[in-house]
Amino acid sequence: MGEFELIRQYFQPLAAKARTGQLVLGPGDDCAIQRVPPGRDLVFSVDTLVEGVHFPLDYSSSHLGWRALAVATSDLAAMGAEPVCFTLALTLPAADPLWLSGFAEGLARASEAFDIALAGGDTTRGPLTISLQVHGTVATDRAIRRSGARPGDLICVSGPLGSAGAALDYLEDPEPDSVRQAVLRRYHFPEPRLALGQLLAGKASAAIDISDGLLADLQHILDASAVGADLDAGTIPMMPELQQLQGGQALSLALTAGDDYELCVAIAPDVLAELAPEARAALTVIGRIRKAPGVHLAGANLAEVRPGFDHFGRVV
């Protein structure tokens, strides 16, 4: 049995998790086959994680397994889609059983938590690189795009921001205290807002998941919708632990640090008022879409916040 067969054995259990009949054919043939139910569209997104760029050298492979699938699946949440399956393109320097079993274990937990089955993949030798493509479905014409924000829409986020960004400072801490552990969990185990996204499908005007920082990602909505935003700094949700650890820097992190994978949503006030109670409870209003381009932030000095995240050139 070659290295390849061994690797497949680690991932085979993830393919068995397809609870729906939508994954007609999983790994092992030239292609996988997915049956999209009538009245629904396929939505899909690919995310690549490179060692030393998107996660630290020697990062726990089990954490990485969870994180990689969570990060990718978060794009389905932002579209309001229901997860179905994913592919894994894994480039590895060597077939290290310890690393592989940890990675497969983290991936399996995430696969179960998000109800998304492994459909196929490719394993190659090279520098550690993980590309995950996630597939979901959404009712025809109900996917939430970035381009639908309209003046008067409320801007909401789905949870506290900045913690995962703060966690980067504590990744090397061998024995983090409970306060640091709280923000570290936000980095290691992001939870895509799938249930919320599905409740927002066909209702929110626009949505994006916050991977690169609130200001950077909100700007993608503003650009795509040709609008601007008024934000109120005092309403940006943050974990108490973040404020305890970072003091005056907490707001800056909440505005510009990535990796939280909460949703940023634009939604008309009357539509928000009629959402299911659990969706309303999950959203915090932080501002309003306006006609004039640009972002005005009440209660803080935008010039003092750190610049937005850019994948290309980022060093963990």
User: According to the binding rule CB under 8 A, does residue 127 interact with its own copies?
Assistant: yes
Determine which residue in the list 119, 157, 257, 267 makes contact with its own copies, applying CB under 8 A.
119
- At residue 22, φ and ψ (nearest 5 deg) are -75, -30
Q: What is the sign, positive or negative, of the torsion defined by CA atoms of 38, 41, 46, 47?
A: negative
Instruction: For residue 311, give the H/E element and its range.
Output: none
User: According to the binding rule CB under 8 A, does residue 191 interact with its own copies?
Assistant: no
- Applying the rule CB under 8 A, the residues between 3 and 62 that interact with its own copies are 3-4, 24-25, 28-36, 38, 41-54
Instruction: For residue 194, give the H/E element and its range.
Output: helix 194-200
User: According to the binding rule CB under 8 A, does residue 195 interact with its own copies?
Assistant: no
Query: Are 68 and 29 contacting, i.e. CB atoms less than 8 angstroms apart?
Result: no
User: According to the binding rule CB under 8 A, does residue 148 interact with its own copies?
Assistant: no
User: According to the binding rule CB under 8 A, does residue 76 interact with its own copies?
Assistant: yes
Both structure tokens of 152: 């008067």
Q: Which stretch binds its own copies (CB under 8 A): 57-65, 128-136, 178-186, 225-233?
A: 128-136
Distance of closest approach, residue 124 Cβ to its own copies, in angstroms: 5
**Which of 229, 210, 208 is CA-nearest to residue 147?**
208
Measured CA angle at 82 (ends 33, 214), to 5 deg: 125
User: According to the binding rule CB under 8 A, does residue 209 interact with its own copies?
Assistant: yes
User: According to the binding rule CB under 8 A, does residue 200 interact with its own copies?
Assistant: no
- At residue 88, φ and ψ (nearest 5 deg) are -125, 115
Determine which residue in the list 89, 113, 168, 271 makes contact with its own copies, applying CB under 8 A.
89
| Start-end of H helices in 80-96 | none
Distance of closest approach, residue 209 Cβ to its own copies, in angstroms: 6
In the complex with its own copies, the residue whose CB is nearer, 291 or 311, is 311
| Burial of residue 281 (number of CB atoms within 10 Å: 0-12, 13-18, 19+) | exposed
Q: Which residues bind its own copies (CB under 8 A)?
A: 2-4, 24-25, 28-36, 38, 41-54, 75-76, 78-79, 81, 87, 89, 91, 95, 119-127, 129, 131, 133, 135-136, 138, 140, 143, 145-147, 207-209, 224, 310-314
